[in-house]
Amino acid sequence: MSSSPNALCFGYELPASGAPCLVRFGGQGLTVTFVSESPVGWSEEVPFTALSVSVGGLDHDQLVLKWTGDRGERALYLKDADLIRSFRRSAPESLHAPFEQAAERARLVRRRRRMVWGVVAGAILVLSAGLWRGGDLLVALAVERIPPEWEQKLGESAYRDFLARQDIVKEGPAVSAVQEMTRRLVEQIPNNPYKFEVTVVKSDVVNAFALPGGYIVVFTGLMKKATAAEEVAGVLSHELNHVLQRHGLERIVKRLGLVAAASIVFGDQQGLAGLMKQFGVELMTLKFGREQETEADLTGLQLLYRAKIDPSGMISFFERLSEKDEGRMEWLSTHPMSQGRAERLKAELAAMPKLSPVPFTFEWAAVRESLGVPLPAEP
């Protein structure tokens, strides 16, 4: 039989760290043989009737057998699973109940620990989810606190900066057409806090964008691409609604982070300009999120409807834009298109009562001709 120790024995005259010993169970009791305490090989026989059973150790995972012998109180700490099984096999009936109690206690401690960790992990999950949603809420609160005048100042500086480097179409059929569309749309906005300004920029880029505060740029490339005025009006309505829903501000505040959002909510809004410089956020490169696009689509559709402009132009234009095409379709890169978007708008439109559109006062073909698109040949 091996003589390597399998348990620790504690007692008055034994070392505090425990005396390594070899424990064997027999029919009547156990034998403890000390391995390193002098005299080495000293044995003690303990009858089962003298033993009390409990659990101990840091994790309550050790079986503790205690008895009072000739040399005072003794405690034996067993953690070897085979040894514990051997004890269970040889222990008499009278020790089974205390043993089961001890085992139950050890299991209880383990279960409780697992449960506490489970609860903690759950709490962390809930908390982070809450922060995620709470972050959105904080952004919304921060955006709400920024006054439109200040938003206008922010947008205006970016707008002037941008236009200074562009070839602007100052007058002509294209400008008056866009102005008419804008007027008809803006008239339908209740309590409009913004003074919308639309500029037509000469460029082949198929694009249009809105800056916070109501500054909208339409490229002639987009107008040339459109086969009907309603299509351009659809894009305009979509852009107007980005402004009205303050999507640009939302993106900025989100980019600046929660700390900035919190400082806007609880402190002064003027600091945002400084913060923006600090974080190098460029208004022009801001992209809208998928949810914001959907929102601008739907509110844009409703605005067109109220302005009595045929919304199907918007939908068909979106569809055409999403098809593979040549040219610089930058509107798509800032307004990612998907089949689902057009489908959704179609469904929305179908649910609305039939509209009798009021036509524009200009001829779209003439507008396009002024931009250099030849008149379509009469069939």
Partner 1 sequence: MRSEILYPGAFPMVRVELAAGEQIKAESGAMVGASPTIDVESKMEGGFLGALSRKLLTGEKFFFQTLRASRGPGEVLLAPTVPGEIVVLELDGVNEYMVQKDGFLAGADTVSIESKMQSFTRGLMGGEGFFILKIGGKGTLILNSFGAIHRIDLKPDQEYIVDNSHMVAWSATTSYNIERASSGWVASFTSGEGFVCRFRGPGVVYIQSRNPGGFGAWIRQFIPVSE
Among 26, 47, 63, 73, binds partner 1 (CB under 8 A): 73
Part in contact with partner 1 (CB under 8 A); list of ranges 17-25, 199-207, 290-298, 299-307: 17-25
**Whose Cβ is closer to partner 1: residue 5's or residue 212's?**
5
Dump the DSSP string for 173-199.
Answer: HHHHHHHHHHHHHHHT-TT-----EEE
Q: Convert residues 77-116 into a mask of x (bound to partner 1 by CB under 8 A) and - (unbound).
A: x-x---------------------------------x--x
Burial of 38-66, coded b for 16+ CB within 10 Å and e otherwise, reads eeeeeebebebeebebbbbeeebebbbbe
Copy the structure tokens of residue 38: 């002098």
Residue with Cβ nearer partner 1 (62 or 207): 62
**Tokens 């209880």 belong to residue:** 108
290-306 vs 312-322: helix crossing angle, rounded to 10: 150
Pairwise CA distance, residues 130 & 161, whole Å: 40
Cβ atoms of 272 and 146 within 8 Å: the answer is yes
Q: Which is nearer to partner 1, 117 or 279 (CB)?
A: 117
Q: By CB under 8 A, which span of 11-19, 87-95, 175-183, 274-282 interacts with partner 1?
A: 11-19
Task: Output the DSSP codes for 209-274.
Answer: EEETTTEEEEEHHHHHH-SSHHHHHHHHHHHHHHHHTTHHHHHHHHHH-HHHHHHHHHS-TTHHHH
Nearest-approach distance from CB 66 to partner 1, in angstroms: 7
For the chain, how big is the Rg over CA atoms in Å? 40
Let me know: does 332 contact 149? Beta carbons within 8 Å.
Answer: no
Of the listed pieces 12-20, 257-265, 266-274, 353-361, which binds partner 1 according to CB under 8 A? 12-20
d(CA 179, CA 162): 20
Site for partner 1 in 228-267 (CB under 8 A): none
Q: How far is the CB of 134 from partner 1 (least distance, A)?
A: 24
The window from 60-68, 157-165, 284-292, 353-361 that contacts partner 1 (CB under 8 A) reads 60-68
Within 23-52, the residues that bind partner 1 by CB under 8 A are 35-36
Is residue 17 part of the contact set for partner 1 (CB under 8 A)? Answer: yes
The reply to whether 66 sits near partner 1 by the rule CB under 8 A is: yes
Nearer residue to partner 1 within complex by CB, 39 or 353: 39
Could you tell me the two tokens for 291?
């949810």
Shortest gap between Cβ of 65 and partner 1 (angstroms)?
A: 11
DSSP assignment string, 23-51: EEE-SSEEEEEESSSSSTT-EEEEEGGG-
Four-CA torsion 205, 152, 189, 331, nearest 10 degrees:
20
Contact letters for partner 1, residues 114-143 (x by CB under 8 A)? --xx--x-----------------------
Using CB under 8 A, which of 2, 4, 38, 356 touches partner 1?
4
Assess 20 for contact with partner 1 (CB under 8 A). Answer: yes
> Rule CB under 8 A: which residues touch partner 1?
4-8, 10-12, 15-18, 20, 35-36, 56-60, 62, 66, 73, 75, 77, 79, 113, 116-117, 120
